[in-house]
Chain A
């Protein structure tokens, strides 16, 4: 994505709209009723109280505006996720020279509320439920706040060209990985399962994160990776679209391939992916995994 697309947006008065909340409407209606009563009974003090509270409501509007005006929003990153999981977009909010309170950031039916102290740059993750594989644009972001008094809601729309990738949901109980390229025995990867923990070994750069013994890290004992039986015995494997059973439709095939990519990754076996129209060579690292899953995610519906 071009850097220009990621330019920060500063909320100015031309972007900020303010409307009464339901509570605001209720309070304004009550004030109107008080106005009528005071007028009818010629209660000067009743009018004074009504107008004082009216001034309060009007001042609340300015405070609502001021709470939003001058915030700088910047798109940081779009995450990736499997269909059915949550896709996380990350934005940053720079408060500027004011404390910003109860700012709600909403997009795509996901929303989160945060307060940002003056001078602070806050990172706001926005978790959106991803339903279907493919590209997932963030769409219109709404920043809103009803602070203070929740009588008015100020809001501003911001568009960022952030797009996440949704991978196909892995098939829940996929068959085991196909046989290795060098005829590796099937039982090896049958045992390459997390139930067969062999022990811990020192963490080395490149070890998959799933293998890290997080409990030990949390205890402060140092970084270790879990070693599994058969891990070492897995050889390279090629995951081929064409070799899948012909009764499976496109989505089922993609789901199975996704499950296999994960299985290969888990057992640290280099894998290659061949799809109609594209192919990835053998490798095993997070980048390769992402490339493979992205290829599956963006696979056209009708090949």
Chain B
């Protein structure tokens, strides 16, 4: 505590840290710029009040600095230390309240965000400055917890340049905080980063990645949009308003036709009259073997904060998972639940990529006889539906024919597929939907369909997931968005589950052409779910293709991809000692190359000196060495006295060299070039040393 207070406070002189070399105002301004640049990529990911207070602390110090500068008073720390300690404690408490826990990734990141602001408000000594630079550098990685997009990478760049400028400033007390000095420092930093690039790239490729995380912080909650494990009227239509990408798929070979693109998600068996819920997941799924067409594909799934992976109906292999982005030890194992849903041990907290194969069929055997009673219980109520089903069942005792009759009924009666159905707040929502409103979205049709089947004694359940997906022609992969979220049904006939999609009976175009082609034009369909070829959509597809490549080659460069690359480049054939030797040789080679580049650049820049040196050498060999104290003008004058026949050339040499080195004209590039040319021509006009000596 005392150490903390010493660092945070302005203690009486006797108690102050003896090594406290105070920072100048210029240094404080540079530090502040670094902190502000390190904060802002993170700002969207912390709660708004954290973002505002963190930035406000920095702004406040800037206000103080500019006031001091106007009054020409030295840098001070006007806010008392105890107040700042109190503020830090209060903010820690509020963060604890906001997140519900403190020891976790997100609250710690939020606290770091405000802490750098508070620390900056009282930064006083060089040592504080070093601490702040280190905190700011660390802050640079934190936005990547939340997004690793190209934009996130670009946003980090100014802060990286500012790291160099701030370190430069800490080394120089007299640093000015002007535009020119900042630009110069940034340029110097970028030069150094460019020189360090080979090292950085080598490390990126060669530094071994972890197979599994070393630690996992207590549950960090993220608010990802996506499917949930329950369904009530309106839940999927709400999701359909989102353009967000759920996952992307690379197919080996041709993608399946739209009507076979059923991406299976949570399976819902429990119904209370309004809401469908999933049974707790049981193991016991099985892999399908068969004759049907087999597709192999890789899914890059965005974080959904659920342990769900999506597979095409019906999976034939277990997935191979690429990513280490799974929280907790032992993550990375996935399996099928009894409902054939692909489930992971840990929630998908970061985008992951997995590869598997599926058989494109719409039926499969039941996993266990217990599934039949679990999926047969019809909810109470809805008398009109019950009555209608009884009459229909009497005419169609065969299960298949009954289901076909229901689907035909959906198709023939005036049912409408719409994103904006009327509210069903009656006590009998299924009755109201089937016989009164008749307007609904896929969840209404799936739910009513399953209720009708159960009333008829056919075991049935609701399956949620995604249906469809759009092929991005740039990059040839499929994008599945939240707006592709869908609900369909499964029923047991002769001991096998069969897939039925009542939505297809009402609006066949939903399955063939996606959401936009099937709902009324007045419905608020999200922009990128629309089918029209607007330039905006084309642009969006191009950007998405770039993002997809970025994802595949940069973000998901994990252990497996790294090993694959090593195999491809035959790096893994090396023994460790060979590796170490090669890396050491590489580092030495890099250092020599950079130093050589310096030397070459210097040579080019100092052509004037080289020319002058050659002239001096020639005159020295001719018997007239330049005296150590002699300037170019004096020396050339003396030489002109010795060789009066070359008076003009000698004087031109002296004058042009003096102008190049010491004149003001040389600051303009054109003048420089002209002077250099004069110097060169004048030297060419001199005869060789041997002839000069003879003259």
A residues at B contact (CB < 8 Å): 22-23, 26-27, 29-31, 33-60, 62-63, 65-66, 97-98, 102, 118-119, 146-151
Q: Which residues of A contact B134 (CB under 8 A)?
A: 26-27, 29-30
Smallest beta-carbon distance A302→chain B, Å: 42
Q: Are A46 and B210 in contact (CB under 8 A)?
A: no
The answer to whether A23 and B167 touch (CB under 8 A), given A44-B148, A59-B192, is yes
Determine whether B358 belongs to the interface, using a CB cutoff of 8 Å to chain A: no
**Residues of A contacting B656 in the complex (Cβ-Cβ under 8 angstroms):** none
Please tell me if B483 contacts chain A, counting CB pairs below 8 Å.
Answer: no
With the chains together, A58 CA to B196 CA distance in Å? 6
State which of A34, A40, A50, A52 has its C-beta within 8 Å of the C-beta of B193: A52
Chain B 174-189, CB within 8 Å of chain A: the 1/0 string? 0000000000000011
Q: Please, how many angstroms separate the alpha-carbon atoms of A34 and B136 in the complex?
A: 11
Name the distance in Å between A76's Cβ and chain B's nearest Cβ. 14
Residues of chain B with a CB closer than 8 A to A46's CB:
141, 144
Closest residue to B324 on the A side, CB-wise?
Answer: A42
On whether the beta carbons of A62 and B594 are closer than 8 Å, the reply is yes
CB pair B171–A149 under 8 Å, yes or no, is: yes
> A37-B141, A54-B196, A62-B594 in contact; A102/B171 too (CB < 8 A)?
yes
> Which B residues lie within 8 Å of A34 (CB)?
137-138, 140-141
**Closest Cβ neighbor of A60 among chain B residues:** B192
Partner of A45, one of B153, B167, B170: B153
Bound Cα distance A39, B602 (Å): 40
Q: Which residues of B contact A33 (CB under 8 A)?
A: 138
Other 6 A-B pairs with CB < 8 A, given A47-B207, A54-B196: A39-B214, A41-B145, A51-B203, A55-B203, A58-B199, A148-B192
Contacts of A52 in B (CB 8 A): 160, 193, 196-197, 200
The B contact surface, by secondary structure, is helix
- CB-CB nearest in chain B for A35: B207
Other-chain residue from B105, B133, B350 in contact with A42 (beta carbon distance below 8 A)? B350
Nearest-neighbour CB distance to chain B for A17, whole angstroms, equals 15
Q: What is the total of A-B residue contacts with beta carbons within 8 Å?
A: 157
**Residues A45 and B152 in contact, CB atoms below 8 Å apart:** yes
**Which residues in window 136-180 of B have CB below 8 A to A?**
137-138, 140-141, 144-145, 148, 152-153, 156, 160, 163-164, 167-168, 170-172
Contact of B141 (CB < 8 Å), options: A49, A58, A59, A98 = A49
Whole-angstrom distance between the alpha carbons of A62 and B589 in the complex?
12
Do A53 and B141 touch across chains, with their CB atoms under 8 A apart?
A: no
Query: Would A51 and B148 count as touching, CB distance under 8 A?
Result: no
Q: Please, which residues of chain B bring their CB within 8 A of the CB of A118? A: 606
B616 to A: closest C-beta gap in Å: 13
Question: Is the pair A22, B130 in contact by a Cβ cutoff of 8 Å?
Answer: yes
B325: Cβ under 8 A from any A Cβ: yes
Smallest CB gap from B161: residue in A: A56
Contact call A45/B595, Cβ cutoff below 8 A: no
4 closest A-B pairs by beta carbon, nearest first, are A55-B196, A150-B171, A55-B200, A51-B200
> Which of B45-53, B117-125, B554-562 is the contact stretch?
B554-562
B591 on interface, CB distance cutoff 8 Å: yes
B215 at the interface (CB under 8 A from A): yes
**Selected A-B contacts with CB under 8 Å, 19 pairs:** A30-B138, A38-B144, A39-B209, A40-B215, A43-B145, A45-B555, A49-B140, A51-B207, A56-B192, A58-B196, A62-B595, A66-B595, A97-B609, A98-B602, A146-B171, A149-B167, A149-B192, A150-B167, A150-B171
Considering only CB atoms, which chain A residue lies closest to B598 in the complex? A66
Tell which of A36, A37, A41, A56 touches B196, judged by Cβ atoms closer than 8 Å: A56
What are the residues of chain B within 8 A of A45 when measuring CB–CB?
141, 144, 148, 152-153, 156, 554-555
Collect the chain B residues with CB atoms within 8 Å of residue A39's CB.
209-210, 214
Q: Measured between alpha carbons, how far is A30 from B133 in the docked complex, in Å?
A: 10
Can you name the residue of chain A whose Cβ is closest to the Cβ of B143?
A45
> What's the Cα separation between A69 and B38 when bound, in Å?
35
- In whole angstroms, how far apart are the Cα atoms of A63 and B602 in the complex? 14
Asked if B195 is an interface residue, CB under 8 A from chain A, the answer is yes
Instruction: Find out whether the CB atom of A43 lies under 8 angstroms from the CB atom of B144.
Output: yes
Within the complex, the shortest CB–CB distance from B611 to chain A, in Å, comes to 14
Q: Which residues of the other chain, A, contact B144 by a CB distance below 8 angstroms?
A: 38, 43, 45-46, 49
Nearest A residue to B192 by beta-carbon distance? A59
